[in-house]
Structure 1
Amino acid sequence: MDVFFEPQEGSPFCIQIGFHDTVLEIKEKIEKHQGIPVYRQTIVFNDEALDDELDVEGCNIINRSCIRLIVAPEPPPSTKIELCIGTPPSKMRLPIEVGVRDPVKSLREVVWSLEDVPLERVKLYANGTELEDDCRICDYELQDNSSVDVHIKPLKFTVMVLPWKANLKVAVEVKQSDKVKVLRKELEKLQPILKFDLPSEGYFFIHNQSGMDEDKSFKWHGVEMGDTIEIFRGMISR
Structure 2
Amino acid sequence: MKIQILTRAYALTIEVSTQETILEIKRKIEHFLGVPISSQTLSIYDWELLDGLDLEDYPIVTEGTKIDLTINDHTPSLETRRQMQITVKFSSRKHNIEIDITETVGSLKEKIHIIDGTPIKQMMLFFSGVEMDEDFRSLSDYGVGEFSEIVVFLKTMSRLVTEPPSRKLGFVVQTSSALFDSTCIPLEMKDSSTI
* TM-score in terms of structure 2 length: 0.41
Structure with bigger gyration radius: 2
**Under a length normalisation based on structure 1, what TM-score does the superposition of the two structures give?**
0.34
